[in-house]
Amino acid sequence: MRLLLDLGNTRLKWAVVNAGDWLARGAVAWEEDVPAALAQAWREQAKPQWVLGASVVDAAREAQIERIVAEVFAQPVEWVRTPAEAYGVRIAYAEPQRLGVDRFLAMVAAHAAGTSPCVLAGIGTALTLDALTADGRHLGGLIAPGPLLMQQSLFGATARIKPYRPGAIREIADNTADAVVSGCWQAIAALIERFAANVARQSSRSPRLLLDGGDAEALLPLLGIPAELAPDSVLRGLNVYATAHPSQPSP
């Protein structure tokens, strides 16, 4: 049995997997009492044989999670880092370790599921875009602020754009609150569409557009091209890694 950990910028997601069965899942935001939330969520779980983690956060938060896992399960955490090539995926970066492991694992999950060629869009604190060919070659990608971070940046850099209420997403807005929200979300949608179109021109097969991240579901109806949700891609990529990893502990 494995405990899989996805340490993202906004929250930690986890799953307990045994022989291909997903037994339990959960998430906790970093702004919450993380030790208490995880101790409560995990107290009914059997001790995992292997704890595997992927992280895009700082070393201090990784150390915090290591302490919690040690206290609850008396197990270490093995952190996955981005390699140049693994599990059918070949990274385009000259320095593969500079590619976020979340992006690598999302590509591993997509390739293992047979959904490549594809464009993977992670919509969260940041927007990440990656292109993956049918044979697992990573063409590269883009990074931009996510829709909420884009709004916060706009508020912090301007004196008069201070919405007095939460805005709604509209095609054309007639007030500042709606204009800010709509502009940021539509900018994200337009960038995804442009990236997908550029990738499609380089591909002999039309790539699928896969969305993951906390804001993926809200973005889906704003896109003018076919797209589908691919939730928990990092956890699914971790499970592919765990299944194929030669050092996996015996069940």
pLDDT at 159: 57
- Nearest 10 degrees: Cα torsion 25, 29, 33, 36: 10
Burial of 61 (0-12, 13-18, 19+ CB in 10 A): middle
**Statement: residue 135 has pLDDT above 50:** yes
pLDDT at 248: 55
Nearest Cα to Cα of residue 132 among 149, 151, 150, 112: 112
pTM metric for this prediction: 0.91
| Cα distances (angstroms) measured from residue 55 to each of 46, 49, 131, 145, 150 | 23, 20, 21, 19, 23
Asked whether 91 and 85 are in contact (CB, 8 A), the reply is yes
**Statement: residue 154 has pLDDT above 90:** no
| Cα distances (angstroms) measured from residue 157 to each of 34, 152, 160, 165, 166 | 32, 9, 10, 18, 18
Q: How confident is the model at residue 251 (pLDDT cuts 50, 70, 90)?
A: very low
- Higher-pLDDT residue of 108 and 177 is 108
- Per-state percent for the chain, helix, strand, coil, to nearest 5: 40, 25, 35
pLDDT, average across residues 6-20: 94
Alpha carbon distance 119, 201 (integer Å): 13
Asked whether 17 and 1 are in contact (CB, 8 A), the reply is yes
pLDDT at 45: 93
pLDDT at 160: 62
Number of alpha carbons in the 13 Å side-chain half-sphere of residue 13: 18
Nearest Cα to Cα of residue 71 among 51, 88, 86, 91: 51
Extract the tokens encoding 39. Answer: 């101790």
- Higher-pLDDT residue of 20 and 24 is 24
pLDDT at 163: 66
Alpha carbon distance 1, 8 (integer Å): 23
Instruction: Select which of 6, 33, 58, 102 is catalytic.
Output: 102
DSSP string of 75-134, one letter each residue: ---EEP---SEETTEE---SSGGGS-HHHHHHHHHHHHTT--SEEEEEESSEEEEEEE-T
Asked whether 124 and 215 are in contact (CB, 8 A), the reply is yes
Residue 219 corresponds to which amino acid?
L
Extract the tokens encoding 83. Answer: 């390699």
Q: pLDDT averaged over the chain?
A: 92
pLDDT at 249: 54
pLDDT at 250: 43
Percent of the chain with pLDDT over 90: 80
Q: How confident is the model at residue 88 (pLDDT cuts 50, 70, 90)?
A: very high
- Is 102 among the residues known to form the active site? yes
pLDDT digits (tens, 9 = 90+) for 223-250: 999 999 999 999 999 999 998 875 555 4
SS (H, E, C) 15-39: EEEECCEEEEEEEEECCCCHHHHHH
